[in-house]
Structure 1
Amino acid sequence: MTTAVAVEFRPKKIRLVAAVCAVFLVVVFTIVGLLLGDTPTGVIFRTSDQVAMIILGVLLACGVLLLARPRVRADAEGVEVRNVITSHRFAWSDVLHVSFPDGASWARLELPDDEYISIMAVQAVDREHAVAAVRALRELHRAARG
């Protein structure tokens, strides 16, 4: 079996769900913002309140889109794991195993001293895509470690 020079994986299903949710949030907050000015409650909403409601929807949508950010890149030298906020690069010599524990939501890199880092780009809900990703990462790890 030949190993690829470099591989890159991103989650599939969560990207779709995050995009749909982000659009939904922007639409709902825009509608609510536009309808704020016409309420029978006696409360006076100004244009700035309406704009703030729309901006809040956009900010929440951006937060949801962070869930689509995870990525894992690997090559013969090492692996780069980018999760929702953090990003780490490891040489294969620093990685003990690439594992996907039973019942876990995502794969992980086992590191020395009982530490590990989650690979949120390889998610259980992606099934065959996750299996292919773990196999490719293990093959690169095996080739690099000898």
Structure 2
Amino acid sequence: MCWSLAAALVVVFTLIGTSLTGPTGMGNATFQRGDQMAMIGLGVLGALGVLLFTRPRVEADAQGVRVQNVIGSYDVPWEEVRAVRFNRGSAWATLELHDEEQVTMLALQAVDKERAVAGVRALRALHSAHQPSSAPARQSEPA
């Protein structure tokens, strides 16, 4: 969706920019070559802004989870993660850390429905598999 929108922005702004020629009929306003290039440049900047929304990712392994959002990224070891949360009504999933901070994961959004739920379940499974287990209770040995 973002790639299509970005391409459409460039095309539309290029068409607008190239159609701006000569006097406008509104006073003495005229468009120069620089004005046309500026319109095309605005289309390219708008397309780049839209493409930022293709950046969110979540990757997890035995060491921890790497979250890449639209702006900013986080590398969190499993020892720092208290819980993987995806509350009812939340727009996206979050990592709840032991120091009371939260890291939002824009790659796991509610609009993705079952795909997001499967991703959260996989993260929870990895999280529980890499938590330090409590020490087993010592059994008394017969004498």
Q: Could you state the TM-score of these two structures normalised by the residue count of structure 1?
A: 0.85
1:11 is aligned to none
- Where do residues 1-146 of structure 1 align in structure 2 (5 Å cutoff)? 16=1, 18-38=2-22, 39-41=24-26, 42-145=28-131, 146=133
Task: Point out where structure 2 has 5 or more consecutive residues left out of the alignment.
Answer: 134-143
Counterpart Cα distance in 1 of 2:122 and 2:57: 14
- CA offsets per residue over residues 76-124 of structure 1, 9 Å max, x none? 1100000001011000000000010111111000012321010001111
Which region of structure 1 is more displaced relative to structure 2, 47-56 or 36-45? Answer: 36-45
**SS of the residue 1:113 aligns to:** coil
Counterpart Cα distance in 2 of 1:128 and 1:138: 15
Alpha carbon RMSD of aligned pairs, Å? Answer: 1.1
Runs ≥4 residues deviating over 6 A: none
- CA offsets per residue over residues 17-38 of structure 1, 9 Å max, x none? x222212211111111011114
Counterpart Cα distance in 1 of 2:25 and 2:111: 46
Counterpart Cα distance in 1 of 2:61 and 2:25: 62
Task: Point out where structure 1 has 5 or more consecutive residues left out of the alignment.
Answer: 1-15
Q: Could you tell me the percent identity over the aligned residues?
A: 52
Q: 2:95 is aligned with what amino acid?
A: L
Which has the bigger relative contact order, CA under 8 A and spacing at least 6?
1
Q: Could you state the TM-score of these two structures normalised by the residue count of structure 2?
A: 0.86
Q: 1:144 is aligned with what amino acid?
A: H
Counterpart Cα distance in 2 of 1:134 and 1:58: 35
Q: 1:40 is aligned with what amino acid?
A: G
Bigger CA radius of gyration? 2
